Amino acid sequence: RVKAALPQDPRPLYRIEWNRNGGASILVQSVEQQPDWEQAFEDLPVLERYHCTVYDPRFTTGSWLAFRLLGNPTGCRQGVRYPLIHEADQYAWLNRKLAAAGVQVYRCQIVGRDRQSTWKTMPAVGRVRMSHLGVTFEGVLKVAHPNLLSEAVRSGVGAAKGLGFGLLSVMPVGA
């Protein structure tokens, strides 16, 4: 439904966040257009409300930010991607990805792990079920290179961004 709401954006970033009573919020980031939620959900009346806002953060070197990321920590061996299942490997993956995004992680915890499945049509074999490991990281980081962080917020972090992974949310510490 996210892609239906954003037909002009080939790779919108999004994350589904479940709350304690079983409801969900969908955070969506698009650099191309505002989503058309009514059109995307016209045949499925489950959307209660939505709010759109322009998000254009300005980062400065040395600033402290709280972050949240639903990542798909993976490694690659002989061209084949595989999930990183050990916590130490997941933290190392996060530190590598965020260092490339121009920040240093100062505090971080894993607040959730989940397997997410989707179906993909492959020309040679038809529909194939694909499973991805999702790890939700939260913590505090310090900005070293504002331009790199801006690009990571805009384009996402890690693999499987089209499946709801990679949206890096940041805000000033204490906000």
- Evaluate if residue 90 carries a pLDDT over 70: yes
Q: Please, which pLDDT band fits residue 30 given cuts at 50, 70 and 90?
A: low
CA 172-17-27 angle, to 5 degrees, is 65
Q: What is the pTM of this model?
A: 0.82
Q: How far is CA 119 from CA 15, 30, 127, 131, in A?
A: 18, 23, 6, 9
More confident residue, 41 or 133: 133
- Where residue 49 falls among pLDDT bands split at 50, 70, 90? low
Residue 48 has pLDDT above 80, yes or no: no
How many other CB atoms are found less than 10 A from the CB of residue 43?
A: 6
Average of per-residue pLDDT values in the chain? 84
CA 43-49-54 angle, to 5 degrees, is 110
Q: Residues 95-114: what's their mean pLDDT?
A: 94
DSSP label at residue 163: G
User: Residue 1: what pLDDT?
Assistant: 61
The yes-or-no verdict on residue 10 having pLDDT over 70 is: no
Q: Is pLDDT larger for residue 91 or for residue 36?
A: 91
Give yes or no for a contact between 97 and 142, defined as CB atoms under 8 angstroms apart: no
Q: Which residue has the higher pLDDT, 46 or 112?
A: 112
What percentage of the chain exceeds 90 in pLDDT? 47
Is-contact 92 153, C-beta < 8 A? no
Which residue, 156, 126, 159, is CA-closest to 12? Answer: 156
Flag whether pLDDT at 107 surpasses 80: yes
- Higher local confidence (pLDDT), 40 or 133: 133
Tell me: pLDDT of 34 over 80.
no
